[in-house]
Structure 1
Amino acid sequence: MTVTRIRAQWERHDERFSPVRGDRFVEVLYDGGSWLEGPAYSAAWRTVLFSDIPSDRVLSWDEVTGAVGVWRSPGGYANGRTIDRAGRMLQCEHGSRSVTRTEPDGTVTVLADRWEGKRFNSPNDLVEHSGGSVWFTDPAYGIDSDYEGFQATPEIDGCHVYRRDLDGSVTRVTDDFSRPNGLTFSADERTLYVTDTERRHLRRFDVGPDLTLTGGDVFAVCDAGGFDGIRVDDAGRLWGAAADGLHCFDPDGTLLGKLLLPEVCSNLTFGGPKRNMLFVTATHMLLSIRVTVTGLR
């Protein structure tokens, strides 16, 4: 299989970015999407699952063969996803306006589709806490039009962030966002980062022992479009998808540097046997590059 390569362009903004390097080329693993999102690496399956939202498909890239195939179609207009600690796939679905879990045998369980009896807008991205709760954002992209789901009138008064606990209860954890999007925890889970794409910034919350949030200060402002998906590496650096590529921040909020890419980036994940492969969804492409940092497990 012939793989297209793009010369990697690293842009340093701070000397602390010096240890961050990677392959000379970014590999284009797939370039036939409409608007790709939600990459998640499964070590058990040795695949990256990702969404082509407008085409209503979940695709898979095989780490062994390099082949890309349709994993699920229709795909529920799925957006963000993650692999939980039991190896199951959790994903946000615009079509059903829900958060679901796919078991190893293919059984699909709806984890959350309502808050106080009202349907969510269109769950967008999610992250699992070590205690088993699932945290997710709920902007309205999937009901704004038929492009990424089904146009509908919102039932909830705004776009918020929620937590689904093991007992099935759903709690709204913050309600002062415009369009909450990507989210991730710090390594010690004492900090939750959430992007607000419409306001073009990234916020930081303190997570209490009872999982309540305080704070919410602006951690970083995007200088190229708006932030989308985010991830943390094992050194605590925060990586965010933006219009010109990936932005990398120190835990103190300093922009360390960027990996410049040719298309608007929506999301990223770390994967591979050593978790040192960056997989990026960028408009119609799935990209990968091996780097000198390791993704947080």
Structure 2
Amino acid sequence: MSEVLLTGLVIGESARWHEGRLWLSNWGAQEILAVDENGKSEVMAKVPTTIPFSIDWLPDGRLLVVSGPEGRLLRQEPDGSLVDHADLRGLGAAGLNEIVVDGRGNIYLNGGCTFTPDEGQAPGLILLVTPDGSVRRVADELSFPNGMVVTPDNRTLVIVESFASQMTAYDIADDGTLSNRRVWAPVTGDGISLDADGAIWAPGWTEDWQPVCQRVAEGGEILDRIHVDHACFACALGGDDGRTLFMLTADWRMNEGFEDNLNRLTTGPRTGQLLTAPAPTPAAGHP
């Protein structure tokens, strides 16, 4: 059973628990918000882009923002300004989507996202930005890459391939390189969150297309499900003990196309909500 913590969002995405608050990207409003456990929100940055834009932090606490359509990785400076953090030109960075920073300061970005890929094509990729500023491609042939998590030991990255309806895992080498690609679970998702038992909370749908946020074990067993009224775009474990599940939902209609949904949500009533529910196991890993 979930409770409503905040309403009035357009589309909430990229949920992250950070410094005692739940941070999120408010797509359609060009805002990054931080929300406390009483539902009080604060605008932490305005992002000069459209959709998508996602967030995480460097080990020194500076905010990173993926400016998706422009293929840019931005960093927030102490005066609040956003500057380019790394040069991604020439790496196929158009259509960037999600970000995760591991415990060593390696930054993983995914992109190549398109809602109308050619049949049989999987143009998605993962880029690695190392702490010394070098950038390289470390994975490709992904089918709409989405949310990512890294295990606490910094040895495994799991990414959602939304159009393949699966989560895919890679081993992480000492230099950040990815290898040993495999199916982690034949279950779809969006923005995901890892817990201390190694399970992943992921937005999803029931067999009859009812929206849920579900806890998935490696291999695909569904351990728990929380039913929500509207489509869930992202989730994150947080709170003082890491046992609160935060879920970002909005009235996304599966019988409408992407542009139709987006136009309705950005010009009509704001249906986006931040929900909470208790979780059995605390957060783990990154983000």
Pairs within 5 Å for 1:43-54: 43=19, 46-54=20-28
For residues 236 and 286 of structure 1, the distance between their equivalents in structure 2, rounded to whole angstroms, comes to: 24
Q: Are 1:266 and 2:240 counterparts?
A: no
Residue 79 of structure 1: aligned partner: 53
Q: Is the 8 A contact 1:42 1:87 kept in 2?
A: no
Aligned counterpart for 1:286 among listed residues 257, 274, 285: 274
Query: Which residue number corresponds to residue 295 of structure 1?
Result: 283
- 2:82 pairs with 102, 105, 108, which one? 108
2:88 aligned with 1:121: no
1:139 positional shift: 3.5
| Residue equivalent to 1:131 | 104
Q: 1:250 matched to which residue of 2?
A: 217
TM-score of the superposition, structure 2-length normalised?
0.78
Secondary structure of residue in 2 paired with 1:198? helix
Residue identity in the other structure for 2:82: V
Offset, 1:266: 1.2
Out of 45, 65, 83, which is 1:91 matched to? 65
Secondary structure at the counterpart of residue 234 of structure 1: coil
- Change in CA separation of 1:84 and 1:277 when aligned onto 2, cut-off 3 Å: farther
The equivalent of 1:190 in structure 2 is 155
Mapped pair 1:216 → 2:190: no
Q: Does 1:167 align with 2:132?
A: yes
How many aligned residue pairs are there?
253
Q: Quote the residue 2:36 is aligned against.
A: 62
Q: Deviations over 1:219-257 (max 9, x none)?
A: 2223xxx41111211221122122422221224543322
- The one-letter code of the counterpart of 1:259 is I
Q: CA offset at residue 126 of structure 1?
A: 1.1
Identity of aligned residues (%): 24
Distance in 1 separating the partners of 2:143 and 2:167: 12
How much has 1:105 moved relative to structure 2? Answer: 4.2
**Following the alignment from structure 1 to structure 2, what is the Cα–Cα distance between the partners of residues 290 and 103?**
35
Going from structure 1 to structure 2, the CA distance change for 1:221 and 1:119 (only over 3 Å counts) comes to: closer
- Per-residue deviation at 1:95? 4.8
User: Structure 2 CA distance, aligned partners of 1:49 and 1:202?
Assistant: 24
Say if 2:238 and 2:246, in contact at 8 Å, map to a contact too.
yes
Compared with structure 1, are the counterparts of its residues 252 and 221 closer, same or farther at alpha carbon in structure 2 (3 Å cutoff)? closer
Q: Aligned Cα RMSD in Å?
A: 2.5
Question: Tell me, which stretches of 5 or more residues in structure 2 are unaligned?
Answer: 117-121, 206-210, 251-271
SS of residue in 2 equivalent to 1:114: coil
Runs (4+) of structure 1 exceeding 4 A deviation are: none
Amino acid at match of 2:75: R
**Residue type at the aligned position of 1:229:** G
Distance 1:41 1:281, change over 3 A: same
Aligned to 1:232: 194
